[in-house]
């Protein structure tokens, strides 16, 4: 059978277009690099280091994006910085709020590429689903993002910027963004009591094909002086880029999720074409070798339930056999397929999903069925972008204004 989709993605996408105003965006850059930039712009080494430290604190602990608001920096220095540098957030093109609390944003880069971000609140946590690329080089056949071309990798700033935007929207900067000059209480930086507690790299794109930028962004998210989120609360999802998995464990150290979706070569070749390059056995071996995985930090296997494709009792038993064979500390996430216009598959019946889940569960492996969220707002991966492209420009402008007003 001739299966559509490339298996040899080009991991060198289009470069970022420099900003039209010539300023340098410092969001997402390591503190030392910001100091270097300040020095190159004319500050002496000591000043540059001190200013970088102050600016960094304002950006990540206070959520401030205007140099003018950085009140412990000399008044004359602030316009000097603003002329040369910028702390940019992705632009919000559209913000949607589902009746179940799920929120979804269509975001735009400074060089005009749209991508998505989703926030999913639960009783005990709030999970932000972050994108790593605009589009995707892989063509998983059930995934709407897979129908788009890869435009470019997101930069570290655009990845961290998503978390910053979510904090803006949820009002989660300590003591309000303009509250200045008081002694800070470190306890306010803990995730406790916050809406945004977890991050999953499960938005648009394949994070392991944008490894350096994803790593650099997550380093800032995890940095105690950055956004200070624990690595245990961050999960990276890959469709199975085997050669990068070891580096992911060692250099990023976050939880791993693997989009398995099928247990035999024929089916996985069809629905996750990357399988023709990195097969199931190699993928599971890389999982067994994943640095930091243990019974306390299990690897999540994502499995999208496709009717008559991958959902039989036999498939469930084979899944159990494979997990045992590689002795994997695993949990299985069963995802009801979210159909989109033109998709080639249907979602399995609820009874079939339950039967599948029971077989895995009875083998002692947790296999919850993920509740579909935000169905009223096209929350399936890649759908908002396409829906928005069908809307008129005027309507989008109106929605953006409404959103701006709602945020105050």
Work out the burial of residue 179: count CB atoms within 10 Å of its CB; fewer than 13 is exposed, 13-18 middle, 19 or more buried.
exposed
- Give the C-alpha separation, 310 to 330, whole Å: 19
Work out the burial of residue 318: count CB atoms within 10 Å of its CB; fewer than 13 is exposed, 13-18 middle, 19 or more buried.
middle
Residues in 125-144 at the binding interface with ligand SAH, rule: CB under 6 A: 142-144
Minimum distance from residue 296 beta carbon to ligand SAH (Å): 22
Which partner, ligand SAH, ligand SF4, none, binds residue 202 by CB below 5 to 8 Å per kind?
A: ligand SAH
Work out the burial of residue 149: count CB atoms within 10 Å of its CB; fewer than 13 is exposed, 13-18 middle, 19 or more buried.
exposed
H helix count then E strand count, the chain = 12, 13
Indicate whether 158 belongs to the interface with ligand SAH (CB under 6 A): no
**CA nearest to 128, candidates 174, 161, 93, 94:** 161
- Give the C-alpha separation, 80 to 252, whole Å: 35
Q: Phi and psi (nearest 5°) for 221?
A: -60, -35
381 catalytically annotated: yes
Which partner, ligand SAH, ligand SF4, none, binds residue 380 by CB below 5 to 8 Å per kind?
A: ligand SAH
Smaller CB separation from ligand SAH, 222 or 380 = 380
Minimum distance from residue 54 beta carbon to ligand SF4 (Å): 38
Smaller CB separation from ligand SF4, 139 or 197 = 139
**CA nearest to 337, candidates 315, 299, 308:** 308
Among 102, 259, 275, 310, binds ligand SAH (CB under 6 A): 259
Residues in 376-405 at the binding interface with ligand SAH, rule: CB under 6 A: 380-381
> Helix, strand, or coil here: 239?
coil
The catalytic residue among 68, 91, 116, 346 is 116
> How many chain residues touch ligand SAH (CB under 6 A)?
16
Smaller CB separation from ligand SF4, 169 or 305 = 305
314 catalytically annotated: no
Which partner, ligand SF4, ligand SAH, none, binds residue 133 by CB below 5 to 8 Å per kind?
A: none
Minimum distance from residue 281 beta carbon to ligand SAH (Å): 19
Neighbours of 336 (CB within 10 A): 17
Smaller CB separation from ligand SAH, 73 or 260 = 260
Smaller CB separation from ligand SAH, 96 or 338 = 338
The catalytic residue among 83, 182, 381, 389 is 381
Work out the burial of residue 341: count CB atoms within 10 Å of its CB; fewer than 13 is exposed, 13-18 middle, 19 or more buried.
exposed
Minimum distance from residue 357 beta carbon to ligand SF4 (Å): 21
Which residues, in sequence order, are bridge partners of residue 105? 95, 117
Region from 119-127, 234-242, 279-287, 316-324 binding ligand SAH, contact rule CB under 6 A: 234-242
Q: List residues near ligand SF4 by CB under 6 A.
A: 136, 138-140, 143, 145-146, 205-206, 239, 259
Smaller CB separation from ligand SAH, 26 or 137 = 137
3-state secondary structure 33-44: HHHHHHHHCCCC
- Give the C-alpha separation, 42 to 52, whole Å: 13
Q: Residue for token digits 């469930």? A: 316
**Residues carrying an active site annotation:** 116, 381
Which stretches of the chain bind ligand SAH, using CB under 6 A? 142-144, 202, 206, 237-239, 259, 302, 304, 335, 337-338, 380-381
């Amino acid at each position: 059978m001739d299966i559509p989709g490339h298996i040899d993605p080009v991991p060198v996408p289009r470069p970022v277009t420099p900003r039209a105003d010539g300023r340098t965006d410092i969001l997402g850059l390591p503190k030392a690099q910001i100091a270097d930039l300040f020095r190159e712009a004319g500050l002496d080494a000591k000043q540059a280091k001190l200013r970088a430290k102050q600016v960094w604190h304002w950006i990540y602990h206070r959520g401030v994006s205007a140099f003018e608001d950085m009140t412990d920096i000399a008044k004359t220095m602030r316009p000097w910085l603003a002329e040369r540098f910028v702390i940019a957030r992705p632009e919000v093109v559209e913000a949607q709020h589902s009746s179940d609390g799920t929120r979804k944003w269509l975001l735009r880069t400074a060089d005009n590429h749209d991508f998505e971000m989703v926030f999913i609140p639960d009783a005990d946590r709030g999970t932000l689903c972050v994108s790593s690329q605009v589009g995707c080089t892989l063509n998983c056949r059930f995934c709407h993002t897979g129908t788009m071309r890869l435009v470019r990798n997101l930069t570290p700033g655009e990845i961290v910027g998503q978390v910053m935007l979510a904090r803006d929207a949820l009002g989660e900067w300590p003591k309000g963004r303009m509250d200045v000059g008081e002694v800070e209480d470190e306890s306010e930086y803990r995730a406790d009591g916050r809406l945004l507690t977890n991050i999953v790299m499960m938005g648009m794109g394949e994070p392991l094909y944008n490894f350096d930028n994803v790593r650099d962004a997550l380093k800032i998210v995890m940095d105690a002086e950055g956004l200070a989120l624990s690595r245990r609360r961050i999960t990276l999802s890959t469709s199975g880029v085997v050669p990068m998995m070891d580096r992911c464990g060692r250099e990023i150290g976050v939880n791993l999720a693997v989009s398995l979706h099928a247990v035999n070569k024929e089916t996985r070749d069809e629905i996750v074409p990357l399988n023709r390059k990195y097969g199931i056995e190699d993928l599971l071996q890389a999982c067994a070798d994943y640095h930091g995985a243990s019974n306390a930090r299990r690897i999540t296997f994502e499995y999208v339930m496709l009717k008559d494709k991958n959902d039989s009792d036999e498939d469930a038993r084979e899944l159990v056999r494979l997990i045992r064979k590689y002795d994997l500390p695993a949990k299985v996430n069963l995802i009801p397929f979210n159909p989109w216009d033109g998709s080639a598959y249907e979602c399995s019946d609820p009874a079939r999903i339950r039967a599948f889940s029971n077989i895995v569960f009875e083998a002692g492996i947790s296999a919850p069925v993920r509740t579909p969220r935000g169905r009223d707002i096209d929350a399936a991966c890649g759908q908002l972008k396409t829906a928005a492209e069908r809307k008129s420009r005027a309507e989008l402008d109106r929605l953006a204004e409404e959103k701006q007003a709602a945020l105050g």
